């Protein structure tokens, strides 16, 4: 009986392990690198997206945004399409997380 319980318990642990190892695929940590890529493609038309200053000054520079907005504020802002010319321009949660991580990384550089 004890052996049977051990086997059942073991299967339970194994099952949990498989479930845990399978689930992170849907919950990858935000990637500032992917965010930088996205910013260069989609945001640089209006924003200065890199500390080096490539872009335009039609909108606040990402470094400026990083210094005055918290990540939750940036996320909330990006959940809505913004800037009239880009109506219908909307990001997935994943893209918002990535680009927010990227903007956040600019703040750390500016402070050091
Ligand atoms: C068509 C031009 C345009 C594009 C493209 C654009 N933005 Fe903007 N963005 C603006 C303008 C103009 C403002 C300031 C006015 C406003 O709030 O709408 C702004 C404001 C913001 C703000 C808030 C700044 C603040 O502190 O108030 C964030 C965050 C932001 N943009 C992020 C992004 C990101 C991320 C992208 C790319 C995925 C992007 N923007 C693409 C024009 C643009």
Q: How far is CA 103 from CA 19, 45, 106, 108, in A?
A: 33, 16, 5, 9
Average pLDDT, the chain: 77
User: 99 lies in a domain?
Assistant: yes
Atom nearest to 44 CA in ligand 1: 5
- pLDDT at position 107, please? 85
E strand or H helix that includes residue 53: none
Contact status, residue 62 vs residue 110, Cβ threshold 8 Å: no
CA Rg, the chain, in Å? 21
What is the C-alpha separation between 9 and 44, in angstroms, rounded?
Answer: 55
Question: Does residue 85 sit within a domain?
Answer: yes
Q: Measure the N-to-C terminal CA separation of the chain; round to a whole number of Å.
A: 63
14-64 pLDDT, tens digit per residue, is: 444 444 444 445 578 999 999 999 999 889 888 999 988 777 778 999 999
Average pLDDT score over residue span 76-89 = 74
Q: Is residue 44 part of a domain?
A: yes
H or E stretch covering 44: none
Q: Could you tell me if the CB of 83 is within 6 A of ligand 1? A: yes
Residue 94 in domain: yes
Q: Does a structural domain hold residue 86?
A: yes
Element spanning 22, H or E: helix 2-22
Ligand 1 centroid to residue 10 C-alpha, Å: 53
88 CB under 6 A from ligand 1? no
Domain holding 53, by residue range, is 32-111
Q: What is the count of structural domains for the chain?
A: 1
> Whose alpha carbon is nearest atom 6 of ligand 1?
43
Any domain includes 81 = yes
């Amino acid at each position: 009986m004890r052996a049977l319980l051990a086997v059942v318990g073991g299967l339970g642990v194994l099952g949990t392990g498989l479930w845990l190892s399978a689930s992170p695929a849907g919950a990858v940590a935000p990637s500032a690198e992917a965010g930088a890529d996205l910013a260069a493609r989609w945001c640089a038309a209006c924003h200065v997206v890199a500390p080096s200053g490539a872009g335009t000054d039609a909108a606040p520079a990402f470094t400026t945004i990083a210094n005055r907005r918290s990540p939750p504020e940036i996320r909330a802002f990006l959940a809505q399409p913004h800037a009239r010319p880009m109506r219908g321009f909307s990001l997935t949660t994943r893209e918002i997380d990535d680009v927010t991580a990227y903007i956040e990384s600019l703040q750390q550089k500016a402070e050091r």
